[in-house]
Structure 1
Amino acid sequence: MSQKANSSKSAPWFREPWFWMVMSPLILVVIVSFVLVSIAVRHGDDVVSDTYYKDSRLYHYSAEQDQRAKDLNLAGMILFSPQDQSVSLDLRGELSTYPASLVLILSHPVEADLDERIVLEEISAGRYRGQVAAPLQHRWYLQVTPEVDAEGAQTPEWRLKGEINFNIGNGVPLKPAEQ
């Protein structure tokens, strides 16, 4: 009888197969959830600008800058040199005097941390040159404006825009944005 009593005695809860059949999917879901949340927190996208309110307010200035560039018949050709990480710009248009320096803004489509502001110095009438620190690969949005004060209190008179994919080529034309 003592053998029957021992065989009818149940095993500890962690040795029961039904416990593991019920709990293993739940435990797996909790572990996967923690992994996915940690990945999302560490590698979140910068698709939406943090200054969306300011950007939307400045839209009217943007339209005026584009129209001013059209009125001046401004256009340019920008060429990147991956060997020495330099950029050159040929600017043409109906400007009475060319600015001494221009600002090139390289905007990465996804990672805002990779955006770069480059000052292009005039080397001759309508020709500008600068150095790039960003990696010259994949796709970037380009914007060229005349340089204004460092505090950003003034708005540039005009701007030219473009888009480049370094997988396709190293040069791209710049023109005013279409409205």
Structure 2
Amino acid sequence: MNEPTPKPWYREPWAWMVLAPLITVVVVSTITVSIAVRFADDKVSDTYYKDSRMYHFSAEQDLRAKELGLAALVQFQPSDNAVVVELNGDLDYPKALLLTLSHPVESDLDKHIELSQLSVGRYQGALPEGIGNRWYLRLMPELDPDAHQDANWRLKGEINFDLGNAAPLNAVTQ
């Protein structure tokens, strides 16, 4: 009796019926993981700390700014390629300040502007490229952006360049 020669496994339909769902799951999982890694949420850059499994917010810098009666007006002057800050309050004015422009969505787009003192309460820095639309603003006496939690005080605000080139900064307390 002549029995037909068996086909290789990859030419059998039952093999592909078993393997097709598994291959599909591996491909879709790989795509999902790569999307999750590429578009992960940015780390929150503020005065939060983790205690056990609870997150706590520290408002010491904001309270200190409120005690000093601090307020500022930030003016962006595209024609002069400058940022001017008028700071008011009861403090020894530092020689330099740091103004951080935080992008609402992508932390990679954040910009840090070092402001030099022109006169008492008046500071100026260079306007960075590529600003427009909406940004969160943070002003503080600490010049290292990574050491923002060490600053003695801070002022916060928000600007939408579609509405104007100036924004007030205040001590924000919960």
Q: Is the pair's TM-score, using the shorter chain for normalization, greater than 0.5?
A: yes
Pair 119,26 (structure 1): closer, same or farther in 2 beyond 3 Å: same
In the alignment, which residue of structure 1 is the partner of 2:118? 123
Does the aligned pair in 2 maintain the 1:75–1:173 contact within 8 Å?
yes
Larger strand share, 1 or 2 = 2
1:1-179 to structure 2, matched below 5 A, reads: 6=4, 11-48=7-44, 53=49, 59=58, 62-63=59-60, 65-82=61-78, 85-95=81-91, 98-133=93-128, 135-147=130-142, 155-179=150-174
**Alpha-carbon distance between aligned partners in 1 of 2:70 and 2:28, rounded to the nearest angstrom:** 54
**Alpha-carbon distance between aligned partners in 2 of 1:161 and 1:67, rounded to the nearest angstrom:** 12
Moved more, 124-133 or 109-118: 109-118
- TM-score normalized by structure 2? 0.69
Root-mean-square deviation (Å) = 3.8
Pair 169,25 (structure 1): closer, same or farther in 2 beyond 3 Å: farther
Does the aligned pair in 2 maintain the 1:90–1:128 contact within 8 Å?
yes
Does the aligned pair in 2 maintain the 1:103–1:119 contact within 8 Å?
yes
Deviations, residues 134-174 of structure 1 (Å, cap 9, x unaligned): 63135432211235799x6x954432111234455432210
The residue type paired with residue 31 of structure 1 is V
Gaps of 5+ in 1: none
Residue 86 of structure 2: SS of its match in structure 1? strand
Residue 85 of structure 2: SS of its match in structure 1? strand
Larger helix share, 1 or 2 = 1
How far off its partner does 1:20 sit?
Answer: 2.4
- TM-score normalized by structure 1? 0.68
The residue type paired with residue 130 of structure 2 is P
Residue 140 of structure 1: SS of its match in structure 2? strand
When the two structures are aligned, how many residues end up with a matched partner? 169
- Rg comparison, structure with higher value: 1
**Alpha-carbon distance between aligned partners in 1 of 2:32 and 2:111, rounded to the nearest angstrom:** 31
